[in-house]
Structures are given as C-alpha cells and as structure tokens.
Amino acid sequence: MSLQGDGPPVLGIDLGGTKILCAVIGTDNHILGRAKRSTPAKEGGQAILEAIVSCIDEALRAADIGRQDIAAAGIGSPGPLDTNAGVILFSSNLNVRDFPIGPGLSKILDRPVVVQNDVRVGGYAEFRLGAGRGYRQVVAAFVGTGIGGCVIHDGEIVLGSTGNAGEIGHIIVKAGGPRCGCGARGCLEALASKTAIGRRVQKAVRRGQPTVLGDKMARKGGRLKSGDLAEAVVAKDIVALKELHRAAHYLGLGLGSLMNAIGPEIVIVGGGVVGALGQPYLDLVRTAARSQALTDPNGLIRIERAALGDDAGILGAALLAREKFVTQHTGE
C-alpha cells in the first residue's frame, strides 16, 4: 500500500485520561493541523465527546479546511472496547461505561469513524511509520502511568477472539506481588509502570530513606512525574536509581517472556518513562530481556526505542481510518 499520493485528509484522535490530541493527517501522513484539550474525564461521556469535537474543529482551522473536507476519523481510546460497534465498554480513567463514542462522533461529523485501543494505534504507527518500519513481526510496549502493548503478526494487529488482545501490562511477572489496578497481583504494570515506581518511592520516604523525590511528589499530590524521576536519576539519587533498576528489570522479564512466546523481529519500547529516561533505561530493559529470551541465543531480535513520541497515537488512528474507509475504496 502506498503512503504517498493524492486523496482527502483524515482525522487522528488520541483520547487519554488527562488530554485529547487531534490532528488532520494528509495522505502522505504529514500533520496538516493539530490541537490539544484537557479531558473532562470526571464529567462523563457527553462532555468528553464535546471536548473532542472542539479539539477537532481547532485542528481543522489550523489546517485551513472544514469538516466537509475530511474523509474519515480514527480514535485511539482506553479500553476495553467493542471495536466493531465503536463503544468504550468501560474505562475508570474516563468515567464512562458502554459509551458509543464512535457512532456519536460519526453522527456529528457525518463521516465514518473507527475506534481502537489507544496503545494499539500507537503501536501500529510505530510499525508503519516509526521504529518498526520494514518489519512484519513486532511487539510494542508503552510505559507510562500504566503499561500498554501492541502485538503485530504478519503486518496485522493481533486482536484475538475478544478484540482486546495485547494487554501485555497484565502479564503476571511476580506471583503474589503488588496489587494492580486491574485487581490482580504481580502484573507487569504493578511492578514496572511509573505508578509502580511512585508507589515504591513513597514507601521509601515513609521508611525515612532520603530522596529528592519525596518533596516533589508531595507537592504534586503524591504523583510521580517522569521528568522528576529523570532528574533524580541524573543526580544519582539512591532511591530513584534503585527503583528505576527494579522497574526496568521487571519490564525486561516481561518482554523477554514475550520474545520466547512470540518470536518477534523487533521489540519497541516507548511511552513517557522511556522518553524521559532515554537510552540508559532502555539498556537496563534490554539486558533483562535478553537474559530471559532463551529462544534468541544469538540476539537476533532487536529491542529499540520508539521513534514517534506523542504523535504515535494520532498517526496510528489516522492510518487505521484511512485503511478502513478510504484506501479500500480508492484502490491506493
């Protein structure tokens, strides 16, 4: 499928628990206009939909086009989802249940809308346009407040029989370990996410261990910012270094296990934590993953940093929209 040529633009929408990103994407995957809004998560589905529409209209103005010029739209949303119906089944971060976000937006725009998991669309963008370009078997992991993943097999997103496969953050890597937000114990997310690191730092503070992160987190309601963690690591803060190494170790164990089970050509690691901590963090993850990857003794599977940053979600959503609603009809 060509990534070049003439054709109508599409919308890419990245819906998160704290922010909404919208962009108008041309056929060559160039961003023609973009906008950002805070997510009114506590106000429910209708408020979220209205914020998305407002964000879309600002992006359209930035691109100097109107709604009538758009062929389709794609949304990356937290799940679980009913992707066929375009419905968010449940999301604690968005305060919605059984919310038909796809049909609702389609009615407003008078254009078709595809809905897919937010991490899946980010992983798909990395596969098509970023660090995974040129490969057919890909595992992508995104580390931030939680841990999400995307598995690509033979060039297609693996959705499984449920349509929600790929939740690598909920692989158990420590039986009986800390409780995860999903209710289980010992999930990868509960041991390697930014939330997990923050929880461990708070425990260290309560034990009286000195760390520059204590006051910073206290001023931010107990939340750990990736930038603050990176600064603490650069300053060789003992607590920050210990918890960083611990989290990277568990992430590597999880990814190494996936390498054994799936045998991808490349593993892509992205998200806010990776963006802030950079290559030293990735090196720790890579070391732990390779120690676990028994099926790859020669180190053939690449482990690389994601390339698209915050644009992965909007680009991936736009790609899915174009492929589903535009190129199959135009023959591009």
Would you state the pLDDT for residue 6? 62
Neighbours of 85 (CB within 10 A): 12
- CATH fold, domain 10-117+312-330, is Nucleotidyltransferase; domain 5 (3.30.420)
Residue 4: pLDDT over 50: no
Pair 321, 72: CB distance under 8 Å? yes
Q: Token pair 């690509």 is at which residue?
A: 152
Would you state the pLDDT for residue 328? 63
Q: What ranges do the domains of the chain cover?
A: 10-117+312-330, 131-307
Asked if 10-117+312-330 and 131-307 have one fold, the answer is: yes
Query: What is the secondary structure of 98-164 as a DSSP string?
Result: EE-HHHHHHHHHTS-EEEEEHHHHHHHHHHHHSTTTT-SSEEEEEESSSEEEEEEETTEE--TTTS-
The answer for 106, left when phi > 0, alpha when psi is -120 to 50, beta otherwise, is alpha
At the fourth CATH level, the homologous superfamily of domain 131-307 is: ATPase, nucleotide binding domain (3.30.420.40)
Residue 329: pLDDT over 80: no
Residue type, 305: R
Higher-confidence position of 78 and 109: 109
Would you state the pLDDT for residue 1? 30
Q: Cα(174)–Cα(57) distance, rounded to whole angstroms? A: 46
